[in-house]
A and B are shown apart, each in its own frame.
Chain A
C-alpha cells in the first residue's frame, strides 16, 4: 500500500541552525501539508501546498518557515533559524483530490529536537 515517508525520523540541531525536513508524498497525490505536534499538545496545521504554491498557512508558519517541492517526488519544510520552541514532531501529509472531503494521509513524522 502506498504511504507517505519522511526523513530523518529524528533530527537534533542547535538553536539558530537551519533544518530541512523531507517528505515523499504518495505518488499520485496533488495536495501536500505539514503539521506539527509539540509534546503533550494538539496536532496543529502549518501549511498546505498545491500546484507549486502555498494554498493556506497558519499563524505559526511565519517567515522562518518555507516549503518547497524541488522535484516530482519530494516535499520539504525548511526552518531557517531554529528556536527552542520549534522542538516538536513534524508530520507531512498528502491527499489525492480537492479538499475538504479528501483523506489526508500522514507520514510517520520527524521528531525535531532543538538544543
Chain B
C-alpha cells in the first residue's frame, strides 16, 4: 500500500529563513508525488508535482522539492520565507493505476516577523 508521512505537524520559521517541510513516501512502484497548499478558508492549491521527468521540481511562489529515491523522500523547500507563506501544506502520492490522491496529515507553517 502506498502512503506518505509528513514529519512535524507544525513548523515555525522567521521571515527570511529557510523553509523545509518533510515528506516521505512508501510505494511499491514509482510514485507520482504532489505538494498542495491550503490557505485559511480556501481549497487546496497545487504547488508542484513530480512525474519522473526531473528529480528537482520547481513550483509556484519560490518553492521547490527534490525527489530522492534512495531516501524515499520528497521534501519541500523555500530559501526565504515570507509572511504570506503561512498556511497548511500537504504532501500527496498517487500510484499509476489509481485515480486517488493519498494525502499526508499536513504541516502547518507559521512565519514570524
Contact = CB atoms under 8 A, between A and B. Distances in A.
Interface of A: 4, 6, 31, 33, 35, 41-45, 48, 55-56, 58, 91, 93, 99-101, 103-109
Contacts, number: 60
A36 to B, nearest CB: 11
A33 B92 CA distance: 15
Interface stretch (B14-22, B73-81, B95-103): B95-103
19 contacts: A4-B43, A6-B43, A41-B105, A42-B105, A43-B92, A45-B100, A56-B98, A56-B100, A91-B43, A91-B44, A93-B44, A100-B94, A100-B95, A100-B98, A103-B46, A104-B101, A105-B46, A107-B43, A108-B42
B80 to A, nearest CB: 26
Interface residues of B, number: 26
